Amino acid sequence: MRKTIFIFIAIILVTVSIDWIDCCAEFKSHKEVFGHYLTYADMYEYKDKDYDYVVRVPSFFTVQPDSLQEEKGRMRFDYADQWITLVIESHVINSEGMSLQAGMDSLAQMLNATEHRLGSDYFILSGPQCENGSRIDGYSYYTKIMANHKLWFVYTMIYPDDYKDILARLFKEIDDWQIWERPHLKLKQGESQTPKSNVRRTMKRLSTF
For residues 115 and 203, give the distance between their C-alpha atoms in angstroms, rounded to a whole number: 16
The pLDDT value recorded for residue 22 is 45
The pTM for the full model equals: 0.76
Superfamily name and number for 41-206: Mog1/PsbP, alpha/beta/alpha sandwich (3.40.1000.10)
Please give the residue that has the higher pLDDT: either 72 or 188.
72
Where do the domains of the chain lie? 41-206
Please give the residue that has the higher pLDDT: either 4 or 110.
110
Q: Is 113 a residue whose pLDDT tops 90? A: yes
Q: For residues 72-103, b (16+ Cβ closer than 10 Å) or e, as one string?
A: ebbbbbbbeeeebebbbbbbbbebeebebeeb
Q: Is 88 a residue whose pLDDT tops 90? A: yes
Q: 2-45: per-residue pLDDT in tens?
A: 555 444 444 444 444 444 434 444 678 999 999 999 999 999 99
